[in-house]
Amino acid sequence: MRFLRFLGHAGLILLLYQAFPARAESLRLLALGDSLSSGYGLQKGQGFAPRLEEALRARGRDVRVINGGVAGDTTAGGLARLDWALAESPHAVLVELGANDMLRGLSPEGAERNLDAILGRLKDRGIPVLLIGMKASANFGADYAKRFDSLYPRLAKTHNVSLYPFFLEGVALNPKLNQDDGLHPNALGVEEIVRRILPFAERLLSQAKAKRP
């Protein structure tokens, strides 16, 4: 009799399992970047990663945005720590690097090689990418700006990835949206960046979701 009751309980559990399958884990979105995306100078929860996650969740996206930003990082630094940054097995990646290469006057060709290697590794792993561009400061001259600014659209075309042309679009040079250093977005600036980049991030997540088994 106890055995029959056990079978009854087991059958009930099986029916419940079939009716309510295990909930799929949240999509993981890695923001691989520098101080612009790391939340430099901001209070906890005000940075790009947490604000983007909140905006995506408000749009019904079940996602966790991983803050992979390191202040001062160049494209070479991002490449060097890529395997470490991928330890949480993200389903999609935002690549926001290059600002520090530009501010230090490093070779645009070197930055392009580093980003090319990053995008190549991500492609090999089958991870959808949104490449986020940067614009060169005018004080480096027209030739440098042309060489630097052109590398992002060229890489996006080469690797067939989506491109958001300028991370600081609508924020750069606006004192109301930047911290006192004039380089890093303040909390209001982050909100503007998130607002603008949100449609691109949503399309990226749709790509990632479509690739899941």
* Length reported for the chain: 213
Q: In DSSP terms, which residues pair with 138 in a beta bridge?
A: none
Q: How far apart are CA 202 and CA 59, in angstroms?
A: 9
Contact of 179 with 141, CB cutoff 8 Å: no
Segment (H or E) for 94: strand 92-96
DSSP string across 101-134? HHHTT--HHHHHHHHHHHHHHHHHTT--EEEE--
User: Which of 34, 35, 37, 101 is an active site residue?
Assistant: 35
Indicate if 35 belongs to the active site: yes
User: Which of 83, 124, 180, 181 is an active site residue?
Assistant: 181
Residues 6+ apart with CB under 8 A from 53: 29, 63, 64, 65
Active centre residues (catalytic):
35, 181, 184
